[in-house]
A and B are shown apart, each in its own frame.
Chain A
Amino acid sequence: MGTEIRIAEVTKKYGDKTIIPNLSLTIRSGEFFTLLGPSGCGKTTLLRMIAGFNTIEAGSIYFDDKSINAIPPYLRNIGMVFQSYAIFPHMSVRKNVEYGLRQRKLDKKTIREWSDSIMETVKITEYADRSPNQLSGGQQQRVALARAIVIRPTVLLMDEPLSNLDAKLRIEMRSAIHDVQKEVGITTVYVTHDQEEALAISDRIAVMNQGEIQQVGTPVELYHRPANTFVATFVGTSTVFDAVFQGNDGDAFVVIDGQLRVKVDHLRSGIADSEALKVSVRPEEFIPVRDPQQTNVLKGVVKSCVFLGKYLNYEVQLTSGRMIEMSQPASGIRDYFKEGEEIALTVDCERINVFDGAGSVNLIREEG
């Protein structure tokens, strides 16, 4: 039903500056795929290459094995939703939605039916005859979505469509977009810098940095097994520690921050003794240790505590001076730490991630 997008060794240059060097990626048919990364990472550039607004300096982009490099943007049959909506202010909502259909030489009845049905889907039927400047941001974005989908495009491209909306509307529109995409079943490429949005909405995500893809995976994979420290810190929050490897009778140990020695099971083989490593720990992967006798811990002082209902967020300053973020599920009033209180921490060695010294390769073996 949907179209597969295959990006093969694509390069983008502005003058002498290479924005995207030799990038390859396959987006499966019908999937909701997100390009996630900080601003300037090349995600929008890549999206605009698929749309045809940016030239391709090398490599090819295929829709179902058909190269689209030479096809001009207006013949690519792409639905595109823009950050600034780009609703035509001189046309009514209906005229906006019908705009793409009128170019396609369809009879009036079909145009009417298709646009009525899509306006129903995105819930803008009641505004059909309004002028766009009478609509709120969220409504305008619905119009933009309807206008892009109604032409039954090969693929749907969205460039930070929610970033101009306020927080509450963003969450509402997020699920609306997700639902509409699933209903229509169209291959969708979505660009955002908001990792929370990406995790919530996507089937799969490609994390990009400086024009290169850092990792492609499902939201769960990215969160729990980030491919490198960039992904670990960009997707969710992680504290990255320097660590050292210690082998002992086939058991693998990692010494974190020179203090905490933990046994890590699923580590790759072939790591030399005393090799420098990086370890990333998410806030919920720190475990407070109540036993004062225990010395194999990271010690620190609670600097601040924010109660968020379902869990608590602490900022803890370790003895090394390093500030870390730690969270604790809301369990009971007696278990909470107070500001200024001393604290001893260990980590959940099943969940933490271990990387090579440069932080660029995850050394945890994939479990079964």
Chain B
Amino acid sequence: MRMRKQWDSWMVIGIAIFVLTLLFLIVPLGTLFISAFKDPSTGTFSLTNFARFFSKPYYYNSMLNSIKVTVTVTVLCVVIGVPMAYLMTTCKIRGKTFLQLMIIISMMSPSFIGAYSWILLLGRNGFITNLVRDLFGFEMGTIYGFGGIVLAFTMKLYPYIYMYVSGALSKLDSSLTEAAENLGCSPVKKVFSVVIPLIFPTVMAGVLMVFTNAFSDFGTPMMIGEGYRTLPVLVYTEYVGEVGGTANFASAISMIMVIITITLFLVQTRIVDKKSYEMSFLRPLEPQKVSLGKSFLIYVFLYGVTIVSMLPNLTIVVSSFRNSSGPVYKEGWSFNNYINAFEKAGNSILNTYKFALIAILIIMVLGMAIAYISVRKKSVLSRFLDTVVMFPLIISGTIMGIMLLLTFNAKPLMLGGTATILIIAFVIRRIPYTVRSSSAILRQMNPVMEEASISLGYTPMRTFWKVTCPLMLSGVFSGLILSWITIIQELSASVILYTGSTATMSVQVYTEVSRNNYGIASAMASILTVTVVLSVLIFFRLSGKKEISL
């Protein structure tokens, strides 16, 4: 009888999580779907919104822009990331650990801040632009628009490919490449005929990651795109815009975005399924010494890319100490920007940490529970949870914001404008990382461990606390760090959901830049960047790891 009661407590938790998922994810998705098919003037069901989108170049061009940007960025990231990973794994490189840390930090830094930094460097009044003008007396082209977006995205996203491919290469058995050499392959041919086919599925996983990131990011194109409009920007302006903006139309565009991402996701899974190999792994590839001439080129490439991708972070920190007035930086250094930032927007700094901490606690508890239910209590319910909870990975923040606002801007659950709705958005959007890492570690854990504890007299619930929980923690934290870092820099959902009193640092940076308060913006952006870097470093220190599992 008591066994039944114990089983019931997980059942109750499972049902509670199911209800939460239903309320905050499924219902909003449904609302978005319905809203997309509603005629804004008559309120009846129709395809008006979609017709409108495909009839005006102003609208469908932004879709083409999005695709152009995303494809270009993805190709560039592969072109940069794959060789970097290959060289770092197969060659002896001085300062490898340092390079790797820099790459991880550029990956983890907020992308819209990267875009903003590129404006500080290469914009109309940018540091490098001015330098070139003063030294050589000629005008560089502007980076606003397509070029700037691609630059900012590429420098932020190539690390994904790098990380994925490094992971795959480190699991490649050296006997495979040695066998290829034995059979008379030249080094170049070896790479193309053995290495690339074997890591292909991993490259594709990275490609999907880069694609969804670039496709759904709102901050970067908004900051640096100026007239160059991509889909997330269009969704945002249509939703909040005063002229002709309707929620229904924004929903329809969101639907189009979701469909494009899902299609791509399915295509990727199809390709990867056909091309995956099981490999026996005994001995990793040994880094080789390289000749002087070659190594010079390799060093220029590796350090070059890394430094360029770190440049935005350095720029932002350095410029935060410069005196400024409006969009112009002046002579002299001081803490004025920080003083102004704290005076004017101190509460947004507090909000960021407060909301993120609350969200991360909820993510930890729910994430572990969902992982446990989906791995250990297999049922229809748990399979449903496992799949649905991962949805938000392919839904952009802007869409998430709109979904939630459409659903909870009316009674009985009037959450619009509250901190709660922001925290809900954070949790839903970033819980997948923690669920994924927690499930992974649970799957590796033999259930016999828990049975041993039960046979020694501990109830299943106490066993969960005494045995399962402590053994899960390392896995949970490797997901939590990713959830944490992405939450504190969340912009796209926050910018839809915030009101004056619930603004976060990201939102503040965004609004200060658009109000031309560059000083405050760079101070806030620096605080954010430093928080990210510190979080990464502390995580590495505590976990003894040297990478973040994506």
Question: A and B, one complex?
Answer: yes
Q: Chain B: which residue is nearest A89 at the CB level?
A: B471
Do A86 and B3 form a contact, CB below 8 Å, given A51-B455, A74-B455, A80-B455?
no
Q: Which residue of A74, A144, A148 is within 8 Å of B454 (Cβ)? A: A74
The stretch among B207-215, B371-379, B443-451 that forms the contact with chain A is: B443-451
Interface centre among A52, A74, A84, A151 (most CB of B within 10 A): A74
The stretch among B149-157, B425-433, B456-464, B516-524 that forms the contact with chain A is: B456-464
Give the residues from 464 to 492 in chain B that come closer than 8 angstroms, CB to CB, to chain A.
Answer: 466-467, 470-471
Q: Chain B: which residue is nearest A100 at the CB level?
A: B456
Question: How far is the CB of A199 from the nearest CB of chain B, in Å?
Answer: 27
Q: Which residue of B446, B457, B470 is within 8 Å of A151 (Cβ)? A: B457
Do A88 and B467 form a contact, CB below 8 Å, given A72-B6, A73-B3, A80-B451?
yes
Task: Say whether B1 contacts A86, CB under 8 Å.
Answer: no
Question: How far is the CB of A68 from the nearest CB of chain B, in Å?
Answer: 11
Considering the chains assembled together, what is the distance between the CA atoms of A83 and B451 in angstroms? 12
Contact with A along B414-453 (1 / 0, CB 8 A): 0000000000000000000000000000000010110111
Chain A residues bordering chain B, tally (CB within 8 A)? 29
Q: Which residue of B449, B454, B467 is within 8 Å of A73 (Cβ)? A: B454
Q: Chain B: which residue is nearest A151 at the CB level?
A: B456
Residues of A within 8 Å of B6, CB to CB, are 72
Q: Chain A: which residue is nearest B452 at the CB level?
A: A86
Say yes or no: is B274 at the interface (Cβ < 8 Å to chain A).
no
Residues of A within 8 Å of B459, CB to CB, are 72, 74
Q: Which residue of B448, B457, B471 is within 8 Å of A74 (Cβ)? A: B457
Task: Say whether A86 contacts B451, CB under 8 Å.
Answer: yes
Considering the chains assembled together, what is the distance between the CA atoms of A82 and B449 in angstroms? 9
Task: Say whether B456 contacts A70, CB under 8 Å.
Answer: no
| Range, interface on chain B | 20 to 34
Residues of B within 8 Å of A104, CB to CB, are 457
Contact with A along B84-120 (1 / 0, CB 8 A): 0000000000000000000000000000000000000
A-B contact count (CB 8 A): 69
Say yes or no: is B294 at the interface (Cβ < 8 Å to chain A).
no
Interface centre among B453, B463, B471 (most CB of A within 10 A): B453
Question: How far is the CB of B311 from the nearest CB of chain A, in Å?
Answer: 43
Contact with B along A35-72 (1 / 0, CB 8 A): 00000000000000001110000000000000000101
Say yes or no: is B344 at the interface (Cβ < 8 Å to chain A).
no
Considering the chains assembled together, what is the distance between the CA atoms of A83 and B446 in angstroms? 11
Q: Which residue of B449, B466, B470 is within 8 Å of A86 (Cβ)? A: B449
Considering the chains assembled together, what is the distance between the CA atoms of A88 and B465 in angstroms? 13
Task: Say whether B451 contacts A74, CB under 8 Å.
Answer: no
Considering the chains assembled together, what is the distance between the CA atoms of A151 and B457 in angstroms? 9
Task: Say whether B457 contacts A90, CB under 8 Å.
Answer: no
Give the residues from 69 to 97 in chain A that come closer than 8 angstroms, CB to CB, to chain B.
Answer: 70, 72-80, 82-84, 86, 88-90
Say yes or no: is A320 at the interface (Cβ < 8 Å to chain B).
no
Say yes or no: is B289 at the interface (Cβ < 8 Å to chain A).
no
Q: Which residue of B446, B453, B470, B471 is within 8 Å of A99 (Cβ)? A: B453
Interface pairs (26), CB distance under 8 Å: A51-B455, A72-B6, A74-B455, A74-B456, A74-B458, A74-B463, A76-B455, A80-B455, A82-B448, A82-B452, A86-B449, A86-B451, A86-B452, A88-B449, A88-B452, A88-B471, A89-B471, A90-B470, A90-B471, A99-B456, A99-B466, A100-B457, A103-B457, A103-B462, A148-B456, A151-B456
Identify 12 new A-B residue pairs, CB closer than 8 A, beyond the known A86-B452, A99-B453: A53-B454, A72-B3, A74-B455, A74-B459, A74-B463, A79-B455, A86-B446, A88-B453, A89-B471, A100-B456, A103-B458, A104-B457
